[in-house]
Structure 1
């Protein structure tokens, strides 16, 4: 639906497309657009933090359009479970949802994924729109058809593909983010610079060094660069199973660290973006060990991670064995043949230049090399303890 007064960029993923509307201080425009859906009910999938911060801005206006059922849970990756999905589906049906209902993914990438699977399953598919409130969601996860939840063994093991009706972003919502969450999304934008759009690296370095990250012009620049980078590789690979796998840079070890830390600290653990940035530090060092990435290129990774406040060492309390157990069940293993002692990863031979083929930017890496690099990034005290234990 249209959103007067907002900019619009079409997101083309393979043979499907949907509009991405964005602007500043435009919540009224978003509500006007949602009113055109003729929904008999809105199912708002969110988390308790987003609800407390932004619920009033959206929900009052929504209730003037149609009945609203709010499906909210405590924030954190633990939302993405089969149990919570089942609970939301049962509540939606009990509330009177029909095929005319519209699911609104309101928040970050976690409620967005949960909302996507819910919308795909409810009556075999109902309409869904994204209203992102985090930089991770706005600049990364909503630019995708992938919808997934976690298993007890790893991230995004259960899911499907669903095309949203549209994305509606008010960048003013991003300005209220805690600094940790703001920078989490910038880690994903940095991934796009390193792996896809190296021309943007100098501007990103300057922005992080002296820019106001919450200024509307900064957020809009970051958004537009992210949209251009991500759609550039998914235009011909909507399911991100070929060339689009470049977007998985940093995710093999990053997902493992994120999952382990979430189990240890819950929502207080490292964010998705921070974990991916750490995963890029690991990937860069592996590429350097293989002789395909220079020391200077590794140093740029470190510089950006430091400027973003991402972890430069393994988060305290997590062991190398825990990380490696999750790496072994990473969901990229099925894309190519890998031995029991190998991981499948995205590595770079230079900024914007992945190893592997253009159609499948993946390579196999000995698990022992991954383990050695991760071990080298343990905090000093933890490294000494592991050496003593060995």
Structure 2
């Protein structure tokens, strides 16, 4: 991406399609493009960290196009709540929002999800634009129509689907991103390699060995890989309810660990990608225990986790039963009929091949086996 200031590709999921613009140090081009929407107001949903780091780069320029109203909350998954959803909607209406307004998701996956639900509900639907500022958002969450917030019981229980007007990615905004967040995006890319594109594992190893995770070349490769993986499985599954569920690999246990850790440590907790990597380790061990995934494939999971520099154990203080309580209410319930003592999980039979069918890549897993796998993630000193 170095030296490339403006590029466009099309994200196509069945009948849904939207442009993805990307470049480096291209905020002026982003604002110029957004000026063409004829918006009467921009409703910017962000978090306090992004606002402090990048607000002055975007908001004054955007305000020269149309009035800007900002809804910001402390960073962290806790922002994806019903309380904040209601507050954001009320603030938008009080500020004078109309059906000609545009909701702008400015930040990582959390502001992106909250903004997506706001755009879906405000006046029964207004336009949505994503400006991601993290690798996870740019390479994963915005390449989807799913928009959701959390319930008090679990992750992403309340949501909808919304096709954005466009995604705008300025790689220059990632220059301030901590290495933890860069690794988080690489964890999601690793998920794509393990579950969808095992032919890319060798190149992922090379990128990790080189160590320059923030280079424009690595970011471009991540974006291309993510687009290829997600579009390939969502071409005939726009809403990720059948074949697209493979993208949930690692998310059953991962979401549970993430939510429990956020409750304990707030924004200092695991990143989404780190939690998903732990979820993939658990999923690999579960599949192995069920006689499907072989030892060599499990070892590949563990090798890549170490190469990513993420932990292979849950943070201290997390209780197995708390994690299992969230697993029991995982948002994939209903796609596959399971008993009250089972969880519907995405597992692999071998790298790149789900244990379930390609059309519905879910397997009913006894909760006892899930609990045993979660127990392997507990630190030895706990």
Give the structure-2-normalised TM-score. 0.98
1:314 alignment partner, SS class: coil
Contact 1:332–1:344 (8 Å) recurs in 2: yes
Contact 1:113–1:148 (8 Å) recurs in 2: yes
Alignment of 1:82-101 (within 5 A): 82-101=82-101
Contact 2:117–2:149 (8 Å) recurs in 1: yes
Is 1:227 the equivalent of 2:253?
A: no
Residue in structure 1 matched with residue 177 of structure 2 by the alignment: 177
Give the structure-1-normalised TM-score. 0.96
2:72 alignment partner, SS class: strand
- The alpha-carbon deviation at position 311 of structure 1 amounts to 2.2
Residue in structure 2 matched with residue 29 of structure 1 by the alignment: 29
2:258 alignment partner, SS class: helix
Is 1:204 the equivalent of 2:204?
A: yes
Contact 2:5–2:25 (8 Å) recurs in 1: no
Is 1:139 the equivalent of 2:139?
A: yes
Residue in structure 2 matched with residue 332 of structure 1 by the alignment: 332
- The alpha-carbon deviation at position 262 of structure 1 amounts to 0.2
Residue in structure 1 matched with residue 299 of structure 2 by the alignment: 299
The 4+ residue runs of structure 1 with deviation greater than 3 A are none
Distance in 1 between residues matched to 2:208 and 2:32, nearest whole Å? 35
Distance in 1 between residues matched to 2:307 and 2:172, nearest whole Å? 23
Distance in 2 between residues matched to 1:175 and 1:165, nearest whole Å? 26
- The alpha-carbon deviation at position 306 of structure 1 amounts to 1.4
Residue in structure 2 matched with residue 381 of structure 1 by the alignment: 381
Distance of aligned partners of 1:208 and 1:5 in 2 relative to their CA distance in 1, 3 Å threshold: closer
Distance in 1 between residues matched to 2:29 and 2:195, nearest whole Å? 35
Contact 1:233–1:244 (8 Å) recurs in 2: yes
Contact 2:341–2:366 (8 Å) recurs in 1: yes
Alignment of 1:295-374 (within 5 A): 295-374=295-374
Contact 2:46–2:111 (8 Å) recurs in 1: yes
Distance in 1 between residues matched to 2:308 and 2:97, nearest whole Å? 42
Alignment of 1:243-282 (within 5 A): 243-282=243-282
- The alpha-carbon deviation at position 309 of structure 1 amounts to 2.4
Residue in structure 1 matched with residue 290 of structure 2 by the alignment: 290
Contact 2:102–2:126 (8 Å) recurs in 1: yes
Alignment of 1:94-173 (within 5 A): 94-173=94-173
Residue in structure 1 matched with residue 59 of structure 2 by the alignment: 59
Q: Which runs of 5+ in 1 are unaligned?
A: 383-390
Distance in 1 between residues matched to 2:376 and 2:37, nearest whole Å? 53
Contact 2:278–2:377 (8 Å) recurs in 1: no
Residue in structure 2 matched with residue 385 of structure 1 by the alignment: none
- The alpha-carbon deviation at position 327 of structure 1 amounts to 0.4
Deviation per CA, 1:243-265, whole angstroms, max 9, x where unpaired?
A: 00000000000000000000000
Distance in 2 between residues matched to 1:342 and 1:268, nearest whole Å? 31
2:214 alignment partner, SS class: coil
- The alpha-carbon deviation at position 295 of structure 1 amounts to 1.4
1:31 alignment partner, SS class: helix
Distance in 2 between residues matched to 1:296 and 1:355, nearest whole Å? 16
Residue in structure 2 matched with residue 388 of structure 1 by the alignment: none
2:159 alignment partner, SS class: strand
Is 1:68 the equivalent of 2:68?
A: yes
- The alpha-carbon deviation at position 207 of structure 1 amounts to 0.5
Distance in 2 between residues matched to 1:350 and 1:24, nearest whole Å? 38
- The alpha-carbon deviation at position 211 of structure 1 amounts to 3.6
- The alpha-carbon deviation at position 5 of structure 1 amounts to 5.1
RMSD: 1.0
Residue in structure 2 matched with residue 386 of structure 1 by the alignment: none
Count of residues in Structure 1 that have an aligned counterpart in Structure 2: 379
